[in-house]
Amino acid sequence: MKIRGFEKLNEAGIIPTRATVNSAGYDFYVPEDIVIKANTKVGIKTYICSYMQPDEYLAIHIRSSISIKKGLELVNQTGIVDSDYYHNPENLGHIIIWVKNTNDTDVELKRGDRIAQGIFNKYLKADGDEAKDARIGGFGSTTK
């Protein structure tokens, strides 16, 4: 039985890993060389999806070294990957990390550079929660 983890969507994907035994986050890697133009935002396709338990989510955070050294920020500050995002019919649960280059110069990333980290979390539900709909799609799909 699968509990939580990652799967590659194609050969370009690099399975996230932890750097040390006590690391909370799984490092996400850039799957191909990319140049992020100055003062622009771009979605970095990871070619990775993640599975987890129904009461869990994967929080995506920018790596501090990428933010400090390269001036990249997550567009949405913290990405939230819900458990029902996994293998949904419209996008297969493909995790795309949206970053903004805050510099006046381009930033070059190479395949294998660590860009973000994912941390699995449990969450609680409020009394009277009556959510019943199932996800179909990706960004903004819960408001359709």
Please report, in tens digits, the pLDDT of each residue of the chain (144 residues total): 999 999 999 999 999 999 999 999 999 999 999 999 999 999 999 999 999 999 999 999 999 999 999 999 999 999 999 999 998 878 789 999 999 999 999 999 999 999 999 999 999 999 999 888 766 655 555 555
* pLDDT attached to residue 138: 57
- State how far the alpha carbon of 66 is from the alpha carbons of 6, 44, 91, 117, 140, in Å: 22, 14, 27, 11, 27
| pLDDT at residue 137 in the model | 57
Those residues whose C-beta lies under 8 Å from the C-beta of residue 89, and which sit 6 or more positions away, are 136
Domain range summary for the chain, segments of one domain joined by + = 5-123
Is the whole model's pTM more than 0.85, yes or no?
yes
pLDDT score, position 89: 78
**Would you say the C-alpha torsion 32, 121, 143, 49 has a positive or negative sign?**
positive
C-alpha span between 110 and 93 (Å, rounded): 24
Name the class of domain 5-123: mainly beta
Instruction: Considering only CA atoms, give the Rg of the chain.
Output: 16
The predicted structure's pLDDT at residue 95: 97
